[in-house]
Every structure is written in C-alpha cells, then in structure tokens.
Amino acid sequence: MNRFVMAVTAAVLATGVAHAEVTEEMLLNDTATTGDVLTNGMGRHLQRYSPLDTLNKDNVKNLLPAWAFSLGGEKQRGQETQPLVHDGVMYITGSYSRMYAIDVKTGQELWQYDARLPEGILPCCDVVNRGAAIYGDNIYFGTLDARMVALNAKTGDVVWNKKIADYKAGYSYTAAPLVVRGLVITGNSGGEFGIVGEVQARDAETGDLVWTRPVIEGHMGTLNGEESTMTGELNATWPGDMWKTGGGATWLGGSYDADTDTLVFGAGNPAPWNSHLRNAGTPVDGNAGDNLYAASRIGIDPANGEIKWHFQTTPREGWDYDGVNEVVAYSDRSGNKRWATADRNGFFYVLNREDGKFVSAVPFVKDISWADGIDETGRPIFNEANRPGNPADAADGKKGEVVFASPSFLGGKNWMPMAHSPKTGLFYVPSNEWGMDIWNEPITYKKGAAYLGSGFTIKPNYEDHIGSLKAIDPDTGETKWEFKNDAPLWGGVMTTAGGLVFTGTPEGKFIAFDDETGEELWSFQTGSGVIGQPITWEQDGEQYVTVISGWGGAVPLWGGEVAKKVNYLNQGGLLWTFRLPAQLAAN
C-alpha cells in the first residue's frame, strides 16, 4: 500500500463532518466566505487577503496557540504548504509528497497519504510541496515524480493517479494545482534539466487530459487528444534545435481571473543558463534572440489552452531570472483592472488585466546590476557588461568572464507569495538583497543531467540584512515601509481587513505587522524556519490563523555564502494553529 490511514472512519464520525461537495461557485467566492479556505492564494486571484477583522491591530497581542500538529517521521525538510480548510477538516501537504487531513478543532489526524516515490527522482530545489486543490469530493496534489493524484477528501483513498511527465528526464512537480470549471490545471518543474515547460488541464473526475500547452516556441499543444496549435513560431526566437530542450518550467502554478476568464502561468528560465549558447548565430537586436516564451507571464484560455497574450520580463535571459513568480489580479485605486508581479529580476511590474499589456515597472530591491531600467514598452535596458561572459571568448574556452550580478539567481523575490490588501491598496512583498558571482561554461544536453552551463556563488549585499519585507504602492512604485531580516525571507505573506500582515522568518518567528506602518505587533517562536504560507478563517465566531514551520527549500542547497550564514538553522515539521478567544477579542 502506498498510503497509510489512521482510524479514518472513527475519526470522521467523531467530528461529525458532512464533507459537502466543493463547487465552482464556492471556489469563485473563496475570499468572501470566511469559514473556509478552498484555494491556494485564499482566492484564485492570489491576493492572500482575508476580509476578517475580528483579529486586529488592537487585539492581536491576545492571539494564542490553539493546537499544533507534527508531520512526524524523519521527513522534515522544506515545509512550504498552504493549508486548505473545508467542512471542519484542514488539508496540508508535506515534504516528500505527503498529504494529511486534520480535524480543524482538535488538531487530530484523520488520515495520511504517502506517495510511493521511485528511486532516481530529480528535484532541483529540495523535496517540497506547496499545497493542494479541492473540488467536488476530491483533494488533488502533485508528487516529486511528476504525477498528479486525486484522493477522496473524506477517506484519503486514491481516486486517480496520472503521470504529468517523465521524472527520469528531470521532470518533477511541487506547486499547488488550480481548479477552474471542473479542470485541474497544473504546470511542471525541472527547468535545470533541459525539460520543456507546459501547462496541462485534466478532467477533475477522471484525470483524463483535456488540453496541453507547451510554453516554448515550436512545440505543439493538444486539445482532446489531438494536436491543436503550435506555441509561437518555429525558430522565430530560438536557434536550431535548442527549442527542443528549451526549459521554461511552469513550476509555481498559476492564477485565474474570472473577470477576463484568463489563466496566468509564469514560465521559468530558458535552458541552458548560458545565454550565448542559446543565441549562437542569432541577432540580438529586436526580439529575435529572446527565447520565447521562457521568463514570461502567459495568459491562457482555460477552455482550450490557447495563448491569449504574453509578457516577457527578461528576454535573452542569462542570470536564471525565472518568470514564474505569481501574477495577482487586483484593481488599482482608479478602478483599473490590473495584474501585479514581483519578478526574480528585481522589478515589480503592473500589467493591464484585459490584455497583459505593460503599464509600469519599478525596482523593489536595491543594487540591480543586470539592467539600467525598464523602457516604456516594458523591455529591460540591458547592462551588457553585467552579462556573464561567453566561454568561446576565453583563452581556454572553458570559463567565460565572471561578473557580480544582483540580484542573485534566487531572485529579488523567489517562489514565496506576496499579498495584496484592497483596504490599503498596497502589496506586501517578501524580498532578498543578495547578489552572485556568475560565469558561463560549455554544456551539452544529456537526458536527466543538469543542463546549466553556468557556475555561481551567492553573496549577501549588506551586512545587517538579507531578507526584506516591503510594502509597495503599485500606483506610485513607492515603498511605504520595510522590515529587514538577517536571514533570507522564504515564506509566504497574508494580510487581513483587521490591518495585519503575517509572515515568518527562517529564524522561526511568526510575525504580525501593522499593514500601514510595518510596526511589529505580535510574534511567536515556532521552533524552526517558517517558509510556509499562512491562512486565516473563522470558526464558531472566533478567528484562527495557521502556518507551518519547517526550514528547508532552495537556500540551504544553493545559497553559497548565504547558506553558510544560516547553516545553524534546524529543520522541522510542525503545523501551528492560533486562536483569538472571544473573551479577548475586545481587548
């Protein structure tokens, strides 16, 4: 058996859980319904905002632990999940592709599912999982061997188990799926192995593929088992056959905007990292060498997988500035429908929600060196002197010129989700101030082997901090306040109508800030690094907050000098739930 169930029937009966079926309407209204959390992002727009204000600036000091849940065993690496809450049950994923159902009142485990992972999986950046999706009677999540699993939400029994891609070629899966109108929509991971980024849509009941959309030019999409249309135009921006192993992993999942009926997925770095190899013989004027649609945000029709629009944040990408960071649907203070995204490349972008057209961009980290700015079309003004050198120009042909580039390849912001408050109009962006020595090397593609063509060492830019939580006004580009942290920030952010912003630190602190001033109002030491994603909900008239604690992720594995700075931090796997008692809400 590849799952393990503990006293399922007895536990479920004890809770009296009804397990009402989750509908498209419920997903659509997730933000407004405060008694549950049904979607990654607390709404498919990914704003991570709650309209609850029972817990507020005045009484957050009274927030108390209600219960804690241990993920158990020795699999305590990189806990990045966002919990879901439905009908008295909390669902979380854990490292090594595990799923748990927990009684939300008591913290008692109802059931657990452990994926049977094969030998030879190739996750690049730790064995993390970022969450699940719920729809109908099922709960869905992905595994490190690039599979999508549907479980019965009541019992944990497998309903279907489908292969996304070949893990032996370097594919994996770590993101929370997205459900739209009965389709389970996923991306893929593995950009360091010369894979091809793709978005897939499956029938939620059967797991059967409905459509696929590769995000690298030259590849064919499918619809109902037949070829549909080519992505882009063959060899328009890729030389020779390099598009066949072009990267662009869609590894962070997507968002959905019901107003425009648009999915938005980000595509990761092109492969290999060495941009000189990808553009050999290709002119660099215009956009001929841009390597579409890598390092881009892509608007997709959820009905058929056709691309509606794209915006490439880093054309001719050569620093591993993935374009996968979440794209948040919101309305600005003038009522204009906008998208916002804080890119790995260090710039915060605002796009028009109707067509993905560029509106504005500002730096959200300091010391950006690879570009001198963003022009009026949204295209970067490259600092070509800060592009890692071409190994072909080196005397030995083995190592190109080393440059110090900022931000580092782990980004001004990496995977960790920001939050938006319609109340303040601000975005709360977890960022890091670091750079890297980076150089290019010759490389050839080999299935299942790393396909970088680059070397690197990450270094802090400042002695007093690396992590920086910033409150950014998207209308003006102004940073309203900043919280500095010694270690890199790697966890998600949540904000509420009560005027609070929640996030955690690798040092283990879970913190509530004033959304207008950045003042620290409350904190709790969780015992391990917080790199998970907080949520809040209402139960029996009281407001609850949950976050998972468990240090890991990419920083300890890839962080160079930064990794040495935080090597004292302990791993863990503990889910903390906090409660504001009704009698203390008025204090």
Asked if the model's pLDDT at residue 281 lies above 70, the reply is no
Of 84-88, 173-177, 392-396, 538-542, the least confident: 392-396
- E strand or H helix at 338, and its extent? strand 337-342
- Average pLDDT rounded to a whole number, residues 168-176: 96
Distance, CA of 7 to CA of 318 (rounded, Å): 52
Look up residue 388 and give its two tokens: 């890692």
pLDDT of residue 565: 83
Asked if the model's pLDDT at residue 523 lies above 60, the reply is yes
Asked if the model's pLDDT at residue 188 lies above 50, the reply is yes
Q: In this structure, is residue 9 part of a structural domain?
A: no
| Cβ–Cβ under 8 Å, residues 120 and 168 | yes
Distance, CA of 220 to CA of 227 (rounded, Å): 6
Confidence of residue 6 (pLDDT cuts 50, 70, 90): very low
Mean pLDDT taken over the chain: 94
Residue 320 annotated as binding site: yes
Confidence of residue 396 (pLDDT cuts 50, 70, 90): confident
Residue type, position 331, single letter: S
320 is catalytic: yes
pLDDT of residue 587: 72
Residue 217 annotated as binding site: no
Of 75-89, 143-157, 262-276, 552-566, the least confident: 552-566
Question: Cβ of 136: how many Cβ atoms within 10 Å?
Answer: 18
pLDDT of residue 283: 61
User: What is the tally of structural domains in the chain?
Assistant: 1
Distance, CA of 301 to CA of 219 (rounded, Å): 17
Nearest C-alpha neighbor of 429 from the set 441, 437, 438, 421: 421
Q: Starting at the edge strand that comes first in sequence, how are the strands of the sheet with 254-257 ordered?
A: 254-257, 262-266, 296-300, 307-312
Asked if the model's pLDDT at residue 110 lies above 50, the reply is yes
- Average pLDDT rounded to a whole number, residues 551-576: 90
Q: In this structure, is residue 3 part of a structural domain?
A: no
Instruction: State the catalytic residue, choosing from 145, 257, 320, 322.
Output: 320
Q: In this structure, is residue 501 part of a structural domain?
A: yes
Q: In this structure, is residue 14 part of a structural domain?
A: no
Confidence of residue 16 (pLDDT cuts 50, 70, 90): very low
Task: Give the phi and the psi of residue 203 in degrees, each rounded to 5.
Answer: -65, 125
pLDDT of residue 325: 98
pLDDT of residue 275: 94
pLDDT of residue 19: 66
Question: Cβ of 169: how many Cβ atoms within 10 Å?
Answer: 17
Nearest C-alpha neighbor of 411 from the set 315, 312, 292, 319: 319
pLDDT of residue 566: 87
Distance, CA of 382 to CA of 325 (rounded, Å): 21
Domain carrying residue 453: 24-478+486-584
Residue 414 annotated as binding site: yes
pLDDT of residue 454: 95
Confidence of residue 395 (pLDDT cuts 50, 70, 90): confident
Distance, CA of 125 to CA of 423 (rounded, Å): 35
Distance, CA of 426 to CA of 422 (rounded, Å): 7
Q: In this structure, is residue 508 part of a structural domain?
A: yes
Q: Which residue has the higher pLDDT, 139 or 77?
A: 139
Look up residue 112 and give its two tokens: 């657990």
Confidence of residue 77 (pLDDT cuts 50, 70, 90): confident
Q: Note the Cα 462 to chain centre separation in Å.
A: 26
pLDDT in tens, 449-496: 999 999 999 999 999 999 999 999 999 999 999 999 999 999 999 999
- Average pLDDT rounded to a whole number, residues 274-297: 85
| Cβ–Cβ under 8 Å, residues 482 and 426 | no
- Average pLDDT rounded to a whole number, residues 233-251: 96
Asked if the model's pLDDT at residue 297 lies above 60, the reply is yes
ω before 462 within 30° of 0 (cis)?
A: no
- The CATH number linked to 74 is 2.140.10.10
Q: In this structure, is residue 283 part of a structural domain?
A: yes
- Average pLDDT rounded to a whole number, residues 399-406: 96
Q: In this structure, is residue 1 part of a structural domain?
A: no
- E strand or H helix at 470, and its extent? strand 467-472
Residue 279 annotated as binding site: no
Q: In this structure, is residue 224 part of a structural domain?
A: yes
Look up residue 463 and give its two tokens: 């002695």
- Average pLDDT rounded to a whole number, residues 388-407: 93
Residue 80 annotated as binding site: yes
Confidence of residue 124 (pLDDT cuts 50, 70, 90): confident
Specify the DSSP class assigned to residue 540.
T
Residue 174 annotated as binding site: yes
